[in-house]
A = this chain, B = another copy of it.
Amino acid sequence: MKTASSFSVRPLVAALIAAACSLGAQAAAPNEPIQPIAPAKVTHPAMVELGKKLFFDPRLSRSGFISCNSCHNLGMGGSDNLKTSIGHNWQKGPINSPTVLNSSMNLAQFWDGRAKDLREQARGPIANPGEMAFTHELAVDMLASIPAYRAEFAKVFHQQPLTIGQVTDAIAAFEETLVTPHARFDRWLQGDSKALNADELAGYQLFKESGCVACHNGPAVGGNSFQKMGIVEPYKASVDAPGRSAVTGNDADRFNFKVPTLRNVELTYPYFHDGAADTLGQAVDTMGRLQLGRQFSEDENARIVAFLKTLTGEQPRIVLPVLPPSSDATPRPKPFDQ
């Protein structure tokens, strides 16, 4: 009897314990300063698909050579892995290109937050003479000269003519899908205690205890505040960017930058707004000294780096769009005609 009873009860008890653990862990996540990333909810797939085409289309640049994906390469963590980007005519960019992954979670766009959202951000590089070096008018004329684009815009937006607002709406809609859920760290947050090893967990504890988490928190592990670069010690930047003060006009905001997301940070080297730190180890060391006044030991540094690598999420699965061909009426790119 007893044996039979214990046999029938055991699975139930086990299930209850598992459920409780799982619940506990799920409930525990809100008590952590970092929250899991939710998968993207696509509400307008046709707009996303159009935005993807535009994101990959180098005809939005004067040269016909530079697309959004050139500097926010979706095969490379949504970044270009260069200290500062290469723009039209091989111009050297003034600042490191931030990742487009999870960028919809940022409180504002660009390092200095001068664009309030992705839609506004997307206007920038197209018309920036140092980046894609085009104009919004020429971009719209180019797109409107291509029958397949014209039809796709009309279908998505139900209004004509095609506008730059539609272009940036579509690009932003695509970018909003570029989230990276299911990182090992998120699995741990959601109750899978085996998702992190002892070093990674120790790194996370250190990340919290030493104060990194004061700025790097939330689902994006950053992206939600502006902070001064160089609090304890000044940062000697290799680029000449004033930061947030350029937007607010307030000198107190000088060298304040948007805290970058640490999601997928393993993929988005080099680090800082000037791309000066080539490796995660260098970045952690500099941040410890300049922001926290703390010199991490080699072991501590390695543990924090090990933790940071658990933030690499599932990368968006991108089927390369086949771009509609230019028509006879499409103005041709001018890569060498300065």
Contacts and interface: CB of A to CB of B under 8 A. Distances in A.
Interface in A285-338: 315, 317-323, 325-326, 328, 332-333, 335-336
A252 to B, nearest CB: 33
A321 B63 CA distance: 25
A332 B75 contact: no
Contact of A325 (B267, B325, B336): B267
B92 A80 contact: no
Contacts of A70: 65
A275 to B, nearest CB: 10
A324 to B, nearest CB: 9
Nearest to A268: B325
A89 interface: yes
A320 B81 contact: no
A86 B335 contact: yes
A82 interface: yes
A74 B318 CA distance: 13
Interface string A264-275: 001101100000
Contacts of A80: 58, 64-65
Given A63-B82, A65-B80, A81-B326, 13 more contacts: A56-B75, A58-B73, A64-B82, A65-B70, A76-B323, A90-B335, A266-B325, A278-B332, A281-B328, A315-B322, A317-B319, A318-B320, A319-B320
Interface of A: 56-59, 63-65, 70, 73-77, 80-82, 86, 89-90, 92, 266-267, 269-270, 278-281, 315, 317-323, 325-326, 328, 332-333, 335-336
